[in-house]
Chains A and B, each alone.
Chain A
Amino acid sequence: MRLVDKTTRVSRRRFLGTSTATVFGTVAVGSGTMLLDPKGAWAVTLKHLKPATMATLIQMARDTYPHDRLTDATYAKAVAVYDDNAADPAVKKMLEDGTASLDKHAQAAYNVNYVDVGWEEQRAGILKQVQNTEFFQTIRGGLVTGLYNQHDIWAKFGYEGASADKGGYLHRGFNDIDWLPGKTAEASEGSKS
Chain B
Amino acid sequence: MSAPFDLKDDHVVVIIGSGAGGGTLGNELAQKGIDVVILEAGSRYEIPDFINDEWAAFQQLAWKDKRTTSGTWRIATDFPNLPSWIVKAVGGTSVHWAGASLRIQDHEFKTQQTYGNIAGATLLDWPISRAELDPYYDKAEFKMGVTGTNGIPRLPGNNNFQVLAAGAKNMGYQTYHTGNMAINSQPRDGRGSCQQIGFCFEGCKSGAKWSTLYTEIPAGEATGHLEVRPDSQVIRIETDASGKVNAVVYADKTGAMHKQLARIVAVAGNSLESPRILLNSESAKYPDGLANSSGQVGRNYMRHTTGSVYAMFENPVHMYRGTTMAGVIRDEARNDPKRGFVGGYEFETISLGLPFMAAFMNPGAWGRDFTSALDNYDHLAGLWIVGEDMPRADNRVTLNKNVTDQFGMPVVNVHFDDHDNDNAMRNDAYTKAIALYESVGSVRAFPTPPYPSTHNLGTNRMSDNPRDGVVNKYGQTHDIKNLFVSDGSQFTTGAAENPTLTIVALAIRQADYIESQMKTNTI
Contact = CB atoms under 8 A, between A and B. Distances in A.
Interface of A: 1, 3-4, 64-69, 120, 124, 127, 131, 140, 144-145, 147-149, 154, 157-165, 167-170, 172-177, 179-182, 184-193
Given A140-B364, A182-B166, A190-B330, 4 more contacts: A172-B321, A176-B159, A193-B330, A193-B333
A157 B317 CA distance: 12
A160 B353 CA distance: 9
A192 B148 contact: yes
Contact of A124 (B158, B327, B353, B368): B368
B103 A174 contact: no
Contacts of A174: 156, 158-159, 196, 321-322
Nearest to A189: B177
Interface string B129-169: 00000000000000000001100001011110111011001
Describe B's contact surface by its main secondary structure: loop
A158 B371 contact: no
Interface in B189-224: 194-199, 205-206
Contacts of B196: 168-170, 174
> Looking at A154, A180, A192, which has the most chain B CB atoms within 10 Å of its CB?
A180
17 contacts: A1-B315, A124-B368, A127-B366, A140-B366, A148-B358, A157-B354, A158-B316, A164-B52, A165-B52, A168-B322, A169-B196, A185-B166, A186-B169, A187-B154, A187-B178, A189-B148, A190-B174
Closest 3 CB pairs of A and B: A158-B378, A190-B175, A168-B195
A69 B375 CA distance: 9
A111 to B, nearest CB: 24
B286 interface: no
A157 B354 CA distance: 8
B206 A168 contact: yes
B318 A173 contact: yes
A174 B55 CA distance: 23
Nearest to A154: B354
B491 interface: no
A153 to B, nearest CB: 8
Interface string B171-197: 000111110100000000000001111
A172 B379 CA distance: 17
Size bin of chain B's contact surface? 35 or more
Contact of A161 (B53, B159, B359): B53
Contact of A148 (B197, B322, B354, B375): B354
Contacts of A165: 52
Contacts of B378: 4, 157-159
A165 B206 CA distance: 10
Nearest to B159: A177
A159 B377 contact: yes
B340 interface: no
Contacts of B163: 177, 180
Contacts of B359: 144-145, 148
Contact of B103 (A67, A157, A190, A193): A193
B112 interface: no
A149 B166 contact: no
B76 interface: no
Contacts of B175: 188, 190-191, 193
Nearest to B333: A193
B128 interface: no
A66 B368 contact: yes
B57 to A, nearest CB: 10
B287 to A, nearest CB: 41
> Looking at A120, A140, A190, which has the most chain B CB atoms within 10 Å of its CB?
A190
A177 B160 CA distance: 9
Contact of B355 (A145, A180, A192): A145
> Looking at B53, B327, B375, which has the most chain A CB atoms within 10 Å of its CB?
B375
A65 B371 contact: yes
B440 interface: yes
Contacts of A144: 358-359
B32 to A, nearest CB: 29
A187 B327 contact: yes
A190 B206 CA distance: 28
B374 A67 contact: yes
A128 to B, nearest CB: 8
B370 interface: yes
